[in-house]
Amino acid sequence: MNKLTVEDLEIKGKRVLMRVDFNVPLENGKVANDKRIRAALPTIKYIMDRGGRLVLMSHLGRPEGKKVPEMSLKPCVPVLSELLGIQVGFSEDCIGDTADKAVEKIGEKEVLLLENLRYYKEETENDPGFAAQLAKLGDVYVNDAFGTAHRAHASTQGVTRHIDRCGAGYLLMKELDYLGKIIENPEMPFVAILGGAKISGKIDVISNLLPKVDKIIIGGGMTYTFFKAKGMEIGNSLLEKDKIDFAKKLLEQGADKIVLPVDCLVSDTFDFNRRKTGELKVVSADAIPPGWFGLDIGPKSIEQFRKALKGAKTIVWNGPMGVFEIDDTSKGTYQVANMLAEATEKGAITVIGGGDSASAVKKAGVADRVSHVSTGGGASLELMEGKELPGVSALTDR
């Protein structure tokens, strides 16, 4: 990454405007999971230690340009205050007189958190005027919000047009280091595991990775579009009819690389909203009964995937193997999570591409046994697609 980092910026006495990702889950007005707040601590502490006057900005949820009290960032203040051992300030607005006055009051080594950026629709619209108002609050800018780095928003891109020196924080640097390097220069053999509901969400990823990997393991709902492309019966399993031809093309291009499940866990009834299934049974991939739903990979597929991963030096995973939100159909996903933990112990670099995969390794209890768990599902996907992230390209060149 040929961009400035926080270590390149003059910080002492300066107002450091920093984009963080505090889009945390709230329950009863309190932070239910502080992982994203903790992820920003290394950069926050670095700036504090060097005498910066730190102004943090983030979004939370999707208030869509309205001031929704339930989506206020205020509950993050006591959590961050406890983690830092200081009293963090809070501004009831992110722009205007309220924000200006709050920023004026903070001294060196002090921290202020601004209210939810997305209370203004101008944030997601990357409005130049809104970006200019944010930029007034800082002398230098740091982006440490990987989870929104794939968005060209006012706080990730627009603001950089008004501040001369803009650098990456430690979390952003770490994400780019892991995801960027494995895509551009992976240690071989390189295996990608792709799951999730739809092939449409992974088209660019598969197309970009296919020439680079030794194997691509396919699981999840997208499996059944590939099965259909092979002329197989899939019952009532998830299908994207308009992607069948694309799946055929991929199977032809990657005949020696694509690894599909050989058996499936199926059910005669399925209600995702009620988290319920009917009768469950394992069948061969070419024997899904008409009217039944494919919901997970079967035991033979798990062993097949284990063999495909044997000896891999680099593994990237994005997307679950089945409906892991339901206990009865979660085994395949959790088995893959454990395979990655085992591969890491044998020296492989293992990267989990955020989103549901990150939730899966956490639920499987192996999040601390893999090389890296990304904090941004959408951003990690776009890196895997070979795209530039607007929030990164907007930073100051070295």
Q: What is the DSSP string of 275-300?
A: TEE-SEEEEETT-PPTT-EEEEE-HH
> Which residues does residue 360 pair with via DSSP β-bridges, in sequence order?
none
* Confidence category of residue 357, pLDDT binned at 50, 70, 90: confident
Which structure tokens are listed for 251? 């199977």
Q: What is the DSSP letter of 118?
A: G
Annotated catalytic residue: which of 355, 376, 377, 391? 355
Q: For position 129, what pLDDT does the model report? A: 98
**Position 189 pLDDT exceeds 80:** yes
Known catalytic residue: 30? no
| Whole-number Å distance between alpha carbons of 69 and 75 | 11
* CA nearest to 171, candidates 144, 150, 147: 144
The arithmetic mean of pLDDT across residues 185-212, rounded, is 90
- Residue 88 in this model has a pLDDT that exceeds 90: yes
How confident is the model at residue 310, as a pLDDT?
A: 96
Active site residue 378: yes
**What are the C-alpha distances in Å from 151 to residues 24, 83, 143, 154, 157?**
18, 28, 12, 9, 8
Q: Mean pLDDT for the chain?
A: 94
DSSP designation for 178: I
Quote the pLDDT of residue 62.
95
In the predicted structure, residue 384 carries a pLDDT above the cut 80: yes
Q: Considering just the CA atoms, what is the radius of gyration of the chain in Å? A: 23
Mean pLDDT of 159-177: 96
| Catalytic annotation, pick one of 3, 36, 53, 243 | 36
* pLDDT at residue 297 in the model: 98
Q: State how far the Cα of 45 lies from the Cα of 49, in Å rounded to an integer.
A: 6
User: What average pLDDT does the segment 336-347 reach?
Assistant: 96
375 vs 283, residue with greater confidence: 283
52 annotated active-site: no
pLDDT at 51: 98
Which domains are delineated in the chain? 6-172 (3.40.50.1260), 186-384 (3.40.50.1260)
Active-site residue identified among 35, 136, 165, 198: 198
Token reading at 154 = 């006012």
Distances (CA, A) of 326 to 180, 183, 277, 330: 33, 32, 9, 6
CA distance 144 to 379: 13
Residue of 158, 353, 378, 391 with catalytic role: 378
Tokens at residue 216, please? 């691509």
**105 exposed, middle or buried (CB, 10 Å; 0-12, 13-18, 19+)?**
exposed
**88: closest CA among 50, 58, 51, 44?**
44
Q: What is the pLDDT of residues 268-295, one digit of tens each?
A: 999 888 888 899 999 999 999 999 999 9
What pLDDT does residue 367 have? 92
Closest CA to 390 of 101, 153, 49, 173: 153
Query: What's the pTM?
Result: 0.88
Alpha-carbon dihedral 105, 74, 150, 349, rounded to 10 degrees: 100
Specify whether the CB–CB gap between 73 and 31 falls below 8 A.
no
Strand partners, 55: 17, 112
In tens, the pLDDT along 120-131 reads 999 999 999 999
* 224 and 183 Cβ atoms separated by less than 8 Å: no
pLDDT of residue 380: 87
pLDDT for the residue numbered 377 = 78
- Is the pLDDT at 1 greater than 80, yes or no? no
Phi, psi of 141, deg, nearest 5: -130, 140
Does the pLDDT of residue 354 top 80, yes or no?
no
Catalytic annotation present for 198 = yes
